[in-house]
Amino acid sequence: MNLSDQLIQFLLSGFATGSIYALIGLGFSIIYNATGIINFAQGEFVMLGGMVTVFFLTSLHIPLPAAILGAVAITTFVGLLFERLAIRPIRKATPINLVIITIGGSILIRGLAMLIWGKDTHAIPGFSGEEPIMIGNASLLPQHLWIFGMTTLAIIASKVFFNYTISGKAMRACAFNPRAASLIGIDVKRMVLFSFVISSAMGSVAGFIIAPLTMTSYDVGIMLGLKGFCAAIIGGMSSGLGTVLGGIILGVLESLGAGLISSGYKDAVAFIILLLILFIRPQGIFKRAESERV
């Protein structure tokens, strides 16, 4: 197998992993855009999406589509509870306090998941079988197509929502200036709650869609959450294409790094990019610098 064939496989693998990061990153940017806080419990929503699906499939023997719907419903409910019990009571706090609260929340959710389901890793069968699809000499799994499809759907939906619906515009207004937003009659608290509901639902979608590929356990949320955060930062916390491109850049660089240099540097690649961007272009590589920081 020659180098160009290998390169195509590296790019394809990177693209697939990157789409996963992008889907998770979108969850981060939605809450950031509505509230100005970074929700570090986002990775736990991803974990819940996968683990609840596994629970429904293996313990209750519910068919896959129903198990998935159930997992999204439960994760969304957890997101709603999380906002109600941990974020809303201290809305007057500074963003940094809230960010730390989300870290605490993520540890709590992870701990509860461990107590309920134990520490084992679980797998879900692929949605459309596991026969690889060959593209030249490179290959993909049918599950990757599900991920691409779901990520595309998520970008389109969030684009439409934030730019063309009243609720979406109201949410953006809240992030920009909560006081002004409430003065013109937007219910800020409801918008914040709403943003947690959307992003926990989106996290759970990422969770069940990647579970057949990467498998799931109570602690997958940490690393996936951090990679998603990385993707969102590269994309400048945009709730659309920026984050998606961020995720794909990250995935491709990781894959090339592991394939051409050494896999030891794989995670280092991600976090060096994260640090560089935070130092040099904190607004992300696709956004023009804002004159006013929110």
Minimum CB–partner distance for residue 182 and another protein (Å): 42
Is position 115 an interface residue for another protein (rule: CB under 8 A)? no
Q: Which of 107, 267, 281, 285 binds another protein (CB under 8 A)?
A: 267
Q: Least distance from C-beta 83 to another protein, angstroms? A: 28
The reply to whether 258 sits near another protein by the rule CB under 8 A is yes
Site for another protein contains 197 (CB under 8 A): no
Q: Which of 38, 68, 150, 213 binds another protein (CB under 8 A)?
A: 213
β-bridge pairing 138-140 and 133-135: antiparallel
Shortest distance in whole angstroms from residue 132 CB to another protein: 5
Single-letter amino acid code for the residue at 206: A
82 is an interface residue for another protein by CB under 8 A: no
Report if residue 6 touches another protein, rule: CB under 8 A: yes
- Which residue type sits at 182? S
Considering the complex, what minimum distance in angstroms separates the CB of residue 35 from another protein?
A: 29
Options 32-40, 61-69, 171-179, 257-265: segment touching another protein (CB under 8 A): 257-265
Q: Which residues bind another protein (CB under 8 A)?
A: 1-3, 5-6, 9-10, 13-14, 16-17, 20, 119-123, 125, 130, 132, 134, 139-141, 210, 213-215, 217, 220, 222-224, 255-256, 258-259, 262-264, 266-267
